Structure 1
């Protein structure tokens, strides 16, 4: 607990540049990082056979220090692995937080703050996907008054405002998924002074996107 309190005090007091201890952050800008993700997804869609990784060499090169150039808030869905759908990126490149519905709770917010403020990642992508089970559950709560056991109902509550706003859309579940990702991305700066400070200084960009399970294409919203 003492170490955790000290780390919190350091995060609160230190400038972002001073937080990238034990090595330099990425030299990529936010726009460079976004271009890398777009190019990687295009490669994944058109030539998935070349998305091979030399994991052993990469593991050795990043063992002492990480400098990820993009932070991805993704769904836990097993069909949406960010490292693969963005072009076969290996260890040390993407800083990934995953949960059902690509939501931002306290743990996820702390994770993306660490990625941006400590590791120097210049880009955050809130990545939704088509046919999302968590989003469908939220839509069923709104449209069918459905209920879910355990913590599932509580977990999907942040999606309900998007499900209410998208009700009546032709593609209800996917429209809700898009809107929920956009709302999450828009709320991040308001939820964190660390993140808002980096955004205001031009050191961090936040975007929302959706991955199509059938085509493999990531579309930015």
Structure 2
């Protein structure tokens, strides 16, 4: 496979946002989704971003960012909760695959956040390993409540921000990448109704790249 040029974190972020803007406008290009790309990537991969998102069936990363084979290294869990396996997978994308960008992707109407709020407010219990998901979302919900937030979107936004902070706090690979300018970690929130992804947090991007992206 011919090695593509290395992108800076800002270039990778711009490329990702451009795809989402095409998706919102209904002007999809479907890049890298043909037989030629399949053959090109058979021998190896060089994705330009790690996409760590919620497992919600409406957040198919390659569709909502209009990308194709070999473009995104995708990790998804309910409520984008991160355990050691998730952290290791994200670090693999950064340290082995040289992804310059890590994106945490949340969304409105998140069931994991709603279930956590219900468990804390109403004492509604869960069974099995769903309880583990709720336990991992709980610090975000408590932080939002402590800040006086009441709206669903505010709780979801706080959970995205908390996840960005958690990745940087727990992963030396990501923290060092941001500190040296090799990596950026960005939090986005996806709107189900219109398909847009708005920025909630950005670590490691230059000021002009942050200003250019869609903000909250």
With normalisation by structure 1, the TM-score equals 0.84
Q: Hey, what's the Cα distance between the residues in 1 that align with 2:141 and 2:168?
A: 22
Which residue matches 1:184? 163
* 1:96 and 2:113 correspond: no
TM-score between both structures, scaled by the size of structure 2? 0.86
Any stretches of 5+ residues in structure 1 without a counterpart? 1-21
Partner of 1:41: 20
Distance verdict in 2 for CA 1:26–1:196, change over 3 Å: farther
Q: Note the 1:1-221 alignment, pairs <5 A.
A: 27-51=6-30, 54-87=33-66, 89-167=67-145, 169-172=149-152, 174-221=153-200
| Pairs aligned (count) | 198
For residue 23 of structure 1, report the CA deviation from its aligned partner.
7.9
Q: Give me the CA root mean square deviation.
A: 1.8
Q: In the TM superposition, what is the alpha-carbon distance from 1:162 to its structure 2 partner?
A: 1.5
1:55 CA displacement = 3.0
Q: How far off is 1:192 after superposition?
A: 1.6
Question: 1:201 deviation in Å?
Answer: 1.2
| Higher Cα radius of gyration | 1
Distance 2:132 2:11 in 1: 37
SS in 2 for 1:134: helix
Matched with 1:18 is none
